[in-house]
Structure 1
Amino acid sequence: MRAPAPSTNPMKQQKPLDIPEIRTNVGWYLDLSDVYSCTLVCRDWARTFIPLLWHTVDFSLKPQIPLCVLKKHARHIRRLEYLELSEKGGDTVRLLCVSSGIRHLRHLSIAFCESEQVNIHGFDLLRRNRASLMFLKIIRKPFEPEFDIVPVQYCIPPDVLVHPTSSRLTDLSLHNISLTREGFAYILRSSPCLKKLDLTTSNILAGGYIDTVDARGPGRDLLTDQDSEDDYYLGEEGAETIVVDGAVIRWRPFRHHGLVELAATLQEIFEPDPNVPSPSLLQHFPRLQELYLSELELISSIKPSVVRSEIKACCPDLCTVGFSSSPSPAVEELVTYAFENLAAVHLERHNYTVGVFHGLLHHHSTLTSIMTYADPGTSFDSRQPEPIDDFFKDQGRVIQLLFQILPLKTVCFHEHEMKIEWMEEKPWRGTLEELSVRIEGLDTEQKIEKALSPWVECWNKYRDALRQAEGAPLNLLLEGSKGDFPGTAEESIPAEPGVKLEPVDEKHMTAQFNDNQGGRYILAPKAPSPLDFFVNDGSLEARVTRFLLQQPNLRNIWLGSGYWSH
C-alpha cells in the first residue's frame, strides 16, 4: 500500500514566525539589539523588522547614524524625540536629510531656535505630518527679559500645528509659545480628539474675540460661520461681556468637551494676557477633570475665592490637581480654599508640610489618592534601598491622620520614612489598595523581604482556604434560638434525628442563623482571615507584616526595594 503524498497546503507547512503579522507582534516585545539581529535572518524578516527598528529615533541619545542611512529609512520613522534645531547645524542637518521622507509621524518632540530660516524646515515637517500626529511637543527658548512684548519669532501659526479637518492629535504640549485667543480656539476646534494640553510658560494673547451681534445675525460664529446650536458652542444666552480698549464686546468662547487634562501656571489660566482683561482659559474646558499647576504664585488679583468660583462654574467635574515648582504656602491656601471634593492630589516632596496636610483633610469624604512627584533621575525599581533625607520624618504623626481619616486607596510617599510605633497607635481606615512608603528600621533589601514575604504567603494561604471553604458542605443543623451561639468544641447539642453531631471548630466554622430552616442554626465553614496564618515573633519585620495584613484591600506595596503584590 502506497504512503499518502505529503500535503501541499502552504498553511500546513508554515511555522508561526513565517507569518508577517505574527513576526510584527513579536517584534514589539524585543529590544533594539534583538530586532537588529532579526533583520539579518533573511529578506522576508528584514521587511518585517526594519520598520520596527526605525520606528523611534531619539536624538537626545546623539545617535551616530550616517546621513545616507538615515535618508534611506526615513519613511519608517513614526516617533521623533528631542529634535533640536540650531543655526549651527546639529539636528538641523539630519532634519533636512530626512524631512522629505517623513510623512506619517505619530509622535514628535521638537525644539525650535531663534532663526526663522532654520525653523521653516521644522514648520514644513509639522505641516506634512499634522494629519497623523497624535502626540506633539514644541519647545522654544524662554523669552528674553528685555522684551516688553512677545517677539514675532515666538508666535507660531496655528494652522501649522493641526490639520483643519482630520487632526488625530490627543496630546499637545506648547512651551514658550505665544498664540492669540483666536488661534488658540482654532487649535481646539480643529482637534476633536484632544485629551491632554500642556501650556506651561506659554502665552494666550488677547484678540480674536467673537462678537455675537454681527451683521449676519446673532448666534453665528465669525471664525467658523457655524450655528451656535452646535454642542461645542454657547448660544446667545451664554455670551459674556468684556471690555477691550474701551469697547464692549460680546464674547462667546469655544468649548471643547473632550479635553480632560490641562497643565499651566495659575496666571496663564486666569490672566492669559496681563495687559488686557480676558476670560480665564477654563471656560474652554467644561469637562476638565485634571489640572496641573506649576510655578505657583499667589497674585493679589487671583484669590482662592476667584479660583473656586471659576472652577465651580466652568469645570464642575474637576477632581484631580497637581502642584510642581510651587511654594508650600501657596499650595496650602489653594488646597484649603480653592478646590472642593478633590479625589487625587499630586505634590512635590518639599510640599510635605503640616499646613498642606491639614488642607488635605478638608476633602475627608472624597480624597482617595495622594501622589508625590519624583526628583529627576530617581528610580524606584532598585533592589537596594537608597538613602534619603526625610525632613518631615519627625512630624510624621500628621501623615498618620491622613490614613486614619481619609478614604485613601493610593498613597505614594517614596521619600518619607514612617515609624511603626506611630502606625500602630490608631488603626487606618482600611481602604488602602496601593502603598509606597519607607519604614524606619527596614533599611536593607533583606529586612524588607523578611517583612513582605510572609505578607504575600499569608494572603496566598488565605485564598487557598477560601477556595476550600466554598466547596465544603453545610453538614450540621443545630437547635437553638436566635442570639444563642450553638456550642463549643466539647458540647453536644440536640439535633434532628439521624444527624450525626460533630465538634464545632470555632477557628474555621461558624454558626449561621437561618429563619427558613425553622429558626435553626446552620453550621458552615468560617471565612478565614490572612492573620489566621501569621506567626508573630515580635520582631520589627513581624510587626510590619501584621500591620499590613490588617489592611484588607492592600494589594501593591513598596517599602524601599522593589514593588511587591499578591
Structure 2
Amino acid sequence: MQITKETPSSTNPLDLSEIRTVIATYLNSKDSLSCMRVSRAWFQDFAPYVWHTINFDEDDIAFKKVTPEILDKYGAFISEALNITHMEDLLAIQHHKVGALKSIHVRPTRSNLYRELISGLLLRCNGSIHTLDIRCDSPSPDTLKEQRKQPEHYVRVADIIAAGGVSPSADNRITPGRGGCLRTLTLGYVCFTREGFSTLLRCSPSLDELILFRVIVMGHTKSIPLYTGSNLRRLSASLIQIYALDEEDSNAPCLLLHFPLLKNWNIMQMYRPDHWTTDPVCEDFSSWCPDLKNITFGHDNPELISNLLINTFQKVESCTPLAENLTPSTALGLIAHQATLMSIAIQGEMEDTTWTQWFHTIPRLCSNLQVLSLKSLELDSKSLDAFQWGCKDLRELRVRFKDLGDPEEIDTCLMPLCDWRRFGGGVFIPHKDKVNIETRVCQFLFQFKKLRTVWLGTKDYYLSPLYD
C-alpha cells in the first residue's frame, strides 16, 4: 500500500480569490494593473476592476488609443460606459466583446448615424443593462415649445425596452428576452408620446427607480388605455413634471397614476403647476399611490411644502426637507403627520438661526420618531430641560450643541453613556460638582433607551444596545 503525502494548503491569504477580489476594490487602476500581471488567476480577479468603467469625460484620449485587439482581450470586463457624447466615443466601443454593459450614459445628438449607433449598442447589450441614463442637451431657446420641435429630443421607446431585455409583442403582452433587468432609468430633455411612455413602463417590469427632468409626455388620447401596473418604487421628478409638461393638453392625466406601488418621491423642484390656482391644494396623491410614505422636498417655496404636507400627502413616514425651507409653517406640516412620522432628515445649511427656538415642537409632538437628523441645527444645552421630547424610541440623532464642538469634549460627553450601556443601564446620577455642558447633553441622551447612533458634530458614534 502506497501512502501519498498531501500537499499542505497555502497559508498566504493572497492565494485566495475571495481575498484578492476584496483587495481589488480598494486599489487604484495603476496598482490593479500591476496585480493583473502576477499570474492568470490574479488577472481574472483584478482585470474587471481595471476595465470596469469607461468615462469619456475623463478617459476620452486614452481609451481611443485602445486597439480592437486589446478590446478583444479586455472588452468583456467593461461594465459601465459614461458620458457617451460624441461619435468618436461610440466608435471606440463598437466591438462585439463590449456587449455586457450594466450601466450606460448617453447624450443624444442631431446626427442620425449617432442615434443608429446608440440603437445598435443598446441591442448589443440586450439583457444586461441595469442603469440607463439618456439626457439630451437643453434646446435653444430653452423652452418646452422648442424642445417639442427639435427631433433630437425624441427617444425611441423600443431602444430602451431592448436595453432591458424585454420586448412587447403585437398584443402588448410582455415577451422576456433574457429577463427584464433595467432597474434605474434617467431621462432628461426628451419627448415621448403618452402611449410610448405606457409601453415603456409595461415592458420594464423590474424598473425600480425613475428620474425625470424636463420630459414631455404628449399626445394623450382616451381611446388608448394607460398602463397602471408599474412596479416602480422610487421617483425623482418635480411637481410640474408629474403633469406631463404637455402645453397643448393641460388636462393630461397625472403621471403618478402609472405608479400604484410608489413608496419614495424626490420632488426635485417646487414650482407650482399652473392649474393649481387655489389654496389649499386639494390634490389627493394617495388615490394613485397609496403606499407613498417617503417624501424629499427640493428648493424654495416653504409655504407650498406646508400646503402639500397638510392637504395632499397622507400618513407620511419619512420626510427630507432642505434647511432653507424650514419655517413655522413647514413645522406645522410635519406635525400634521405626528402619528406616523418616523424619520426627519433635514439637509443643507440653516440661515435663520431663530428657527431653533421652536424646533423642539417637532420631537416633542412626533412621538414615533426614530431618526432625527439636522446637522446644521445648533441646540442650546441650557434649554433642554424646558422641552420634553416625546420621541422616546429615537434610534438615530444627528444635531449639534452650542459650545460642544471639540472632538475631545464630545468623547467626554458620550463616554458615560457608552459605559452605562455596556454595564446594563441603571439610574444615571450626575456629579453635583460637574454639571457642565458635557454632563447636561449626556443626561439628555440618557432618556433615549433605544438610541444606537449619535452625531454631535464630528462623526457617528455607535452605542451598544440596552437590553431590558
Identify the TM-score tier after normalising by the shorter chain.
0.7 to 0.9
Where does residue 548 of structure 1 map in the other structure? 445
Where does residue 159 of structure 2 map in the other structure? 160
TM-score (norm 1): 0.71
Where does residue 33 of structure 2 map in the other structure? 36
Cα distance, 1:134 vs structure 2: 0.8
Where does residue 202 of structure 2 map in the other structure? 189
SS of equivalent to 1:136: strand
Where does residue 100 of structure 2 map in the other structure? 104
Q: Does 1:460 align with 2:460?
A: no
Show CA shifts across 1:301-356 (max 9, x none).
Answer: 13688975542321111111111133222212212221121111111121111111
* Alpha carbons of structure 1 residues 52 and 4: separation in structure 2 relative to 1, 3 Å: same
Cα distance, 1:94 vs structure 2: 3.8
Of 401, 408, 422 in structure 1, the residue corresponding to residue 361 of structure 2 is: 401
Show CA shifts across 1:434-480 (max 9, x none).
Answer: 11111111232222222223332322222xxxxxxxxxxxxxxxxxx
SS of equivalent to 1:436: strand
Using the alignment, how far apart are the partners of 1:530 and 1:39 within structure 2? Answer: 59
8 A contact 1:39–1:50 mirrored in 2? yes
Of 168, 172, 175 in structure 1, the residue corresponding to residue 188 of structure 2 is: 175
Where does residue 514 of structure 1 map in the other structure? none
* Alpha carbons of structure 1 residues 321 and 50: separation in structure 2 relative to 1, 3 Å: same
SS of equivalent to 1:99: coil
Q: Structure 1: any 5+ residue segments left out of the alignment? A: 87-91, 210-248, 375-388, 463-527
User: Aligned pairs, how many?
Assistant: 438
Using the alignment, how far apart are the partners of 2:300 and 2:272 within structure 1? Answer: 10
Where does residue 386 of structure 2 map in the other structure? 425
Using the alignment, how far apart are the partners of 1:534 and 1:172 within structure 2? Answer: 58
Cα distance, 1:57 vs structure 2: 2.9
* Alpha carbons of structure 1 residues 270 and 550: separation in structure 2 relative to 1, 3 Å: same
Query: Where do 1:121-140 residues align within 5 Å?
Result: 121-140=117-136
* Aligned partner letter, 2:310: T
* Alpha carbons of structure 1 residues 358 and 110: separation in structure 2 relative to 1, 3 Å: same
8 A contact 2:377–2:400 mirrored in 1? yes
* Alpha carbons of structure 1 residues 22 and 189: separation in structure 2 relative to 1, 3 Å: same
Using the alignment, how far apart are the partners of 1:456 and 1:285 within structure 2? Answer: 45
* Aligned partner letter, 1:99: Q
Cα distance, 1:34 vs structure 2: 4.4
Using the alignment, how far apart are the partners of 1:438 and 1:19 within structure 2? Answer: 45
8 A contact 1:534–1:546 mirrored in 2? no
* Aligned partner letter, 2:51: W
TM-score (norm 2): 0.85
Cα distance, 1:411 vs structure 2: 1.6
Where does residue 399 of structure 2 map in the other structure? 437
Where does residue 265 of structure 2 map in the other structure? 291
Cα distance, 1:68 vs structure 2: 3.9
Using the alignment, how far apart are the partners of 1:119 and 1:307 within structure 2? Answer: 42
Using the alignment, how far apart are the partners of 2:280 and 2:225 within structure 1? Answer: 20
Q: Structure 2: any 5+ residue segments left out of the alignment? A: 168-175, 464-468
8 A contact 2:63–2:92 mirrored in 1? no
8 A contact 1:196–1:262 mirrored in 2? yes
Using the alignment, how far apart are the partners of 2:64 and 2:50 within structure 1? Answer: 16
Using the alignment, how far apart are the partners of 2:403 and 2:371 within structure 1? Answer: 23
* Alpha carbons of structure 1 residues 41 and 294: separation in structure 2 relative to 1, 3 Å: same
SS of equivalent to 1:544: helix
Show CA shifts across 1:130-158 (max 9, x none).
Answer: 42111112221123337635121101101
* Alpha carbons of structure 1 residues 118 and 173: separation in structure 2 relative to 1, 3 Å: same
Cα distance, 1:18 vs structure 2: 4.0
Where does residue 227 of structure 1 map in the other structure? none
Q: Does 1:318 align with 2:295?
A: no
Using the alignment, how far apart are the partners of 2:294 and 2:43 within structure 1? Answer: 46
Using the alignment, how far apart are the partners of 2:237 and 2:40 within structure 1? Answer: 49
Cα distance, 1:42 vs structure 2: 2.1
8 A contact 1:305–1:337 mirrored in 2? no
* Aligned partner letter, 1:179: F
Query: Where do 1:340-379 residues align within 5 Å?
Result: 340-374=314-348
Cα distance, 1:297 vs structure 2: 2.0
8 A contact 1:454–1:534 mirrored in 2? no
8 A contact 1:198–1:263 mirrored in 2? yes
8 A contact 1:304–1:334 mirrored in 2? no
Using the alignment, how far apart are the partners of 1:306 and 1:427 within structure 2? Answer: 32
Using the alignment, how far apart are the partners of 1:188 and 1:427 within structure 2? Answer: 48
Using the alignment, how far apart are the partners of 1:34 and 1:357 within structure 2? Answer: 51
8 A contact 1:196–1:261 mirrored in 2? yes
Identity of aligned residues (%): 24
* Alpha carbons of structure 1 residues 451 and 32: separation in structure 2 relative to 1, 3 Å: farther
Cα distance, 1:293 vs structure 2: 1.3
8 A contact 1:400–1:423 mirrored in 2? no
Of 49, 53, 78 in structure 2, the residue corresponding to residue 52 of structure 1 is: 49
SS of equivalent to 1:266: coil
RMSD: 2.9
Cα distance, 1:264 vs structure 2: 1.1
8 A contact 1:304–1:338 mirrored in 2? no
Using the alignment, how far apart are the partners of 2:405 and 2:194 within structure 1? Answer: 54
8 A contact 2:256–2:288 mirrored in 1? yes
Using the alignment, how far apart are the partners of 2:433 and 2:101 within structure 1? Answer: 58
* Alpha carbons of structure 1 residues 449 and 415: separation in structure 2 relative to 1, 3 Å: same
8 A contact 1:305–1:338 mirrored in 2? no
* Aligned partner letter, 1:435: L
* Alpha carbons of structure 1 residues 338 and 66: separation in structure 2 relative to 1, 3 Å: closer
Where does residue 269 of structure 1 map in the other structure? 242
Of 513, 537, 542 in structure 1, the residue corresponding to residue 434 of structure 2 is: 537
Where does residue 85 of structure 1 map in the other structure? 85
8 A contact 1:400–1:422 mirrored in 2? no
Using the alignment, how far apart are the partners of 2:122 and 2:346 within structure 1? Answer: 35
* Aligned partner letter, 1:125: L
Using the alignment, how far apart are the partners of 1:530 and 1:57 within structure 2? Answer: 58
* Aligned partner letter, 2:248: N
8 A contact 2:123–2:159 mirrored in 1? yes
8 A contact 1:458–1:533 mirrored in 2? no
Using the alignment, how far apart are the partners of 1:418 and 1:283 within structure 2? Answer: 42
8 A contact 2:398–2:456 mirrored in 1? yes
Where does residue 170 of structure 2 map in the other structure? none
* Alpha carbons of structure 1 residues 39 and 262: separation in structure 2 relative to 1, 3 Å: same
* Aligned partner letter, 2:76: R
SS of equivalent to 2:261: coil
Where does residue 500 of structure 1 map in the other structure? none
Cα distance, 1:275 vs structure 2: 1.1
* Aligned partner letter, 2:93: V
Structure index of larger Rg:
1
SS of equivalent to 1:396: helix
